[in-house]
Structure 1
Amino acid sequence: MPPPGTGPTAIVPPDLLPPGLAVATAVAAEHLRAHGIGPGDRVVIDAPARVRWSVLPHLLAVDRAGAAALVADPGWSDRERAAVLTDTAPSRVLDVSTAGTGSGTSTSTGTSTGTETSTGTSTETSTPARPEPGQPRPTGPRDQLDGTDPFLLPTTSGSTGPPTVLARTRDSWLIGFDVLGPLPGPVLVPGPPSSTLYLFGALHALHHGLRLVTTDRFDPADLPAGGSVHLVPALLSTLLDDRDRHPERPAPAVIVCGGAHVAPALRERCARLLPGTVLIEYYGSAEHSLIALRRDAGPLRAVPGVRLAVHDGVLWVDSPQTVLGRLRDGVLQPIGPGPSTVGDRADLGTDGALTVHGRAATTITSGGTLVAVEEVEQVLRGVPGVADVVVSGTPHPSLGTLVTAVVEATDGVAPSRRALRAAVRTALSPAKRPRRWLLVPALPRLGSGKPARSVIDDALRDGTRGTRPFPEPSGGRP
């Protein structure tokens, strides 16, 4: 019988790891064994923000041990971190230092690409927090790994509330790796491993034996010629703005875009500026992983094995990629089997084409009309000069809530308000169009890179601190 984690259920087969990363993972695995970490345990991995990807060999070692890993977000507040640790009830917390073992994987800390960096060793800096005696655990020790054991404890982004700790199986991501399939290498993953979007991209690349390049932030100069890159729509917009200025730079063969919806105007701009690049857009969630894919201009359709249904305007997903459940005070609260929902509003055509309008929690009411803010944001992200945007509501005496757009401009230069209004006039009914326009130097963000909606909502309620109105166009109101 093979040792735990070396069989086909390992998230990355050991023989596919680059030599340096394989050595670092083996060292980390020995460290875990020395501390008694095995199947059924939960391990929280901490790393400083400046070397976030140093968690990688430790995560792979936790997987090899048959345990489940949670990658902590260094951007969490003390309250958020305490809540996550309470729900996780970890067997051990690993503090990854910068004195490394040399992974050999192509990583960097956000300043360059392809740099060989250390991956870090680990120490225990807190007392292991175990459940009380007799408290149930989601799994128990086993002699052989099972693909249905949890290997990862992802947290929701917390964009509309505190993070939730989930329990994900190896099989669920192995299915997703096959659905997405191999990509041209090398693969650039320009974001933190605490975000499942970027962690999925990194493990997917390693699983397929591709050279991996990780950075903590996106710089278009890091793009691998002929390779692939994982982005969110705001970073895709950044890439295209850079392409306008530097058309001579290398172009990726494939862009994988998730985390939010790609506006039609943004897809069209991508096709125009990068005609030889394939754009793969996916819709998913922390709870369901990959739900639907769109390649270039085709429709968004459910991936194989996923069944979709819309009831009362809300999307329900029945998928083998669904998480096992949520952790509350150390106890797993199962989700499945069967359909479940995260509350996204959607339409499903008779031909299977899916249109997602956004989370019900991000719907506002203005003048009696329900406005899905993500629908409005999709339109505005396609306007040149918009780095990103969040649509929210501000109080209004007659409408109740005024649709308000908070815009982050590209390179600090405000886009034309005339262009913004023209875009929403073309794509949206009058009740959905923003009536108030505000500029910010930079939107507050979560560790995943997504805008922190709750922070923005609080700022608007407190008097729009940190924002300023758009300058009035010359010649009066357009």
Structure 2
Amino acid sequence: MTVDDTLVDVLTGHRRAGRGDRPALIDHRRSVTYAELEREVVERVRELRDAGVRPGVRIGVVLTSSLDSVVDFAAVTSLHAATLVLQERTGAAERSAALTDFGAELSLVDGLVTALRPPEPGDGGWSFAVTSSGTSGRPKVISREWQGTLRNSAAFADEFGLTPDDVVLTTSPLGHSYAIEAGTLAVLSAGACQLVPPGPLTPARAALLAERHRPTVLQSVPVVLDWWGRGEVPRAGGWKRCVSAGDALPAQAVTAWHDAGVPVYDHYGNSELGQLTLTPAGGGGCVGRPLPDVGLMAGSGEPAPVAAQFPGLSPVRMEAGRPVPLADADGWVTTGDLGVLGDDGLRLTGRSDLIINIGGNKVSPAEVESVLRGAPGVSDCAVVGRTGPAGESQVWAFVEAGADEFDAAALRRRARELLMAVKVPSVIRRVDKLPRTGSGKIRRGLLMEADA
């Protein structure tokens, strides 16, 4: 793969290597081989060029879990456009704000190109942009170079061991960076096949899908691994391994998969730099060693801000159509996470912007969550800082548990036994379901609001 490769080049390469008749993509309506996908993308390139998509034009593309949507994405990026990927489930206000921040001139929704504003002098280059998950506030638009993005996805595919014999079931919405980069781009670079069902799938539907298409790899998030694991999905089909990302991976989420003999890998990445680490799931917050060419910096012994770099990305945050550089002069980007870098790789200890200050004592939500998740009856939990009645900072815990299993007093006793007094939650509330983004991340910003 060269620095100038488009997705058309990638597809053509597989056909010329004798893999043209191998399956490339499967959705709920149809499937295509690599040769068929190449023909569809080439034809779509012609149509979109006639519709005004040109090199450097800034275009927002709404991705759905459909083969046609992947064809649109492949064609737009193959035209060297500056491409902003948007999730199908994004609300109208958030979508409009993201398009404005990106400075989009065109949008592509359901196959239709719409002009948003007259083109301005200059262009967005050949770039790839995503929105952050917006777990603690309004999503941000992050843009980086296309060539580095494709190379980063290929590095992930190589490290994870994807081959043309693999069928990868992706559960996250394709508009999410994890799904499109560690999923679609990684799969296509390896010559494997991606299965993109409409979601969310119940465990029963997932088991039927696994029996029908025999996926070998599950690319998902902790909440789905846990949910499907309770529904016997690990023993359906022909799973060989799973990869999880997007949030902390609790031990309970991998138990059923390990019991069925299916290895689970933990993966760490972000919107700014793509895929960063990969490791067999071992718990303790360790997300493994960096992928090839990924640089990492973190604390040694004590947690410190995590910084990362990958060559050829030059990430920027887009604000009102203007780029704000995120990397320093040496290419390092602060991720917003705290962690410790040791011989076994990177161990994450929490988000720097979520650390709770209680009378000068720093409380990591991740540490408190780890204690509460180990209690009987707790499916998941989220810990945030809230303002108390006297204006003081407090630790609040929102616990996902059944009404019959929830025991706030028992949880508080457990916290007192295992944590310093300052880290024990002042308030523990039960919720049926924690609020999550489309990719499964907890929306902590909602839990910080007064009416949560």
Give the TM-score, by structure 1 length: 0.76
| Letter of the 1:361 counterpart | D
SS at match of 2:150: helix
SS at match of 1:36: coil
Q: Equivalences for 1:3-14 in 2 at 5 Å?
A: 10=10
Cα deviation for residue 435 of structure 1 reads 3.7
| Letter of the 1:36 counterpart | G
Cα deviation for residue 331 of structure 1 reads 2.6
Structure 1 distance, partners of 2:407, 2:38, is 51
CA spacing shift, 1:73–1:12, aligned 2, 3 Å: farther
SS at match of 1:343: strand
SS at match of 1:236: helix
* Structure 2 residue 448 is the aligned partner of structure 1 residue 457: yes
Q: 1:448 aligned to 435, 439, 447, which one?
A: 439
Cα deviation for residue 379 of structure 1 reads 4.3
Q: What residue in structure 2 maps to residue 63 of structure 1?
A: 77
SS at match of 1:43: strand
* Residue deviations 1:397-442 (CA, integer Å, cap 9, x gap): 57923322212337x8745657755765676444323342212222
Q: What residue in structure 2 maps to residue 143 of structure 1?
A: none
* Residue deviations 1:379-411 (CA, integer Å, cap 9, x gap): 44455654432212333357923322212337x
* Structure 2 residue 193 is the aligned partner of structure 1 residue 211: yes
CA spacing shift, 1:416–1:211, aligned 2, 3 Å: farther
CA spacing shift, 1:247–1:253, aligned 2, 3 Å: closer
* Structure 2 residue 272 is the aligned partner of structure 1 residue 301: no
Q: What residue in structure 2 maps to residue 472 of structure 1?
A: none
Q: Does the Cα contact within 8 Å between 1:9 and 1:170 map onto a contact in 2?
A: no
* Structure 2 residue 323 is the aligned partner of structure 1 residue 332: yes
Cα deviation for residue 205 of structure 1 reads 1.8
Structure 2 distance, partners of 1:240, 1:384, is 17
Q: What residue in structure 1 maps to residue 366 of structure 2?
A: 374
Structure 2 distance, partners of 1:179, 1:187, is 14
Q: What residue in structure 1 maps to residue 395 of structure 2?
A: 403
SS at match of 2:115: coil
* Structure 2 residue 347 is the aligned partner of structure 1 residue 361: no
* Structure 2 residue 171 is the aligned partner of structure 1 residue 190: yes
CA spacing shift, 1:427–1:89, aligned 2, 3 Å: same
| Letter of the 1:217 counterpart | P
* Structure 2 residue 99 is the aligned partner of structure 1 residue 85: yes
Structure 1 distance, partners of 2:62, 2:215, is 34
Structure 2 distance, partners of 1:164, 1:176, is 21
* Residue deviations 1:417-469 (CA, integer Å, cap 9, x gap): 577557656764443233422122222222333222222222xx13x4xxxxx
Q: Does the Cα contact within 8 Å between 1:257 and 1:279 map onto a contact in 2?
A: yes
Between 378-387 and 61-70, the greater mean CA deviation after superposition:
378-387
Q: What residue in structure 2 maps to residue 113 of structure 1?
A: none
Q: Does the Cα contact within 8 Å between 1:137 and 1:332 map onto a contact in 2?
A: no
Q: What residue in structure 1 maps to residue 29 of structure 2?
A: none
SS at match of 1:197: helix
CA spacing shift, 1:305–1:393, aligned 2, 3 Å: same
Higher helix fraction: Structure 1 or Structure 2? 2
Q: Does the Cα contact within 8 Å between 1:10 and 1:170 map onto a contact in 2?
A: no
Q: What residue in structure 2 maps to residue 95 of structure 1?
A: 109
Q: Does the Cα contact within 8 Å between 1:229 and 1:254 map onto a contact in 2?
A: yes
Structure 2 distance, partners of 1:418, 1:53, is 50
SS at match of 2:272: coil
Q: What residue in structure 1 maps to residue 250 of structure 2?
A: 263
| Letter of the 2:368 counterpart | V
Q: Does the Cα contact within 8 Å between 2:58 and 2:123 map onto a contact in 1?
A: no
| Letter of the 1:163 counterpart | P
Cα deviation for residue 195 of structure 1 reads 0.9
Cα deviation for residue 89 of structure 1 reads 1.8
Q: Does the Cα contact within 8 Å between 1:364 and 1:393 map onto a contact in 2?
A: yes
Structure 2 distance, partners of 1:52, 1:291, is 27
* Structure 2 residue 254 is the aligned partner of structure 1 residue 273: no
Structure 1 distance, partners of 2:89, 2:390, is 39
Q: What residue in structure 2 maps to residue 220 of structure 1?
A: 203
Q: 1:341 aligned to 334, 347, 355, which one?
A: 334
Q: What residue in structure 2 maps to residue 282 of structure 1?
A: 267
Q: What residue in structure 1 maps to residue 48 of structure 2?
A: 32
Between 229-238 and 418-427, the greater mean CA deviation after superposition:
418-427
SS at match of 1:370: strand
CA spacing shift, 1:294–1:376, aligned 2, 3 Å: farther
Aligned residues: 413
Q: Does the Cα contact within 8 Å between 2:10 and 2:189 map onto a contact in 1?
A: no
Between 82-91 and 177-186, the greater mean CA deviation after superposition:
177-186
| Letter of the 1:394 counterpart | R
Structure 2 distance, partners of 1:209, 1:342, is 31
Structure 2 distance, partners of 1:415, 1:456, is 19
**Structure 1 gap segments, 5+ residues each:** 97-121, 140-148, 465-478
Give the TM-score, by structure 2 length: 0.80
Q: What residue in structure 2 maps to residue 436 of structure 1?
A: 427
Between 375-384 and 221-230, the greater mean CA deviation after superposition:
375-384
**Structure 2 gap segments, 5+ residues each:** 25-31
Structure 1 distance, partners of 2:281, 2:171, is 22
CA spacing shift, 1:366–1:60, aligned 2, 3 Å: same
Structure 2 distance, partners of 1:253, 1:416, is 38
Q: 1:129 aligned to 110, 114, 117, which one?
A: 117
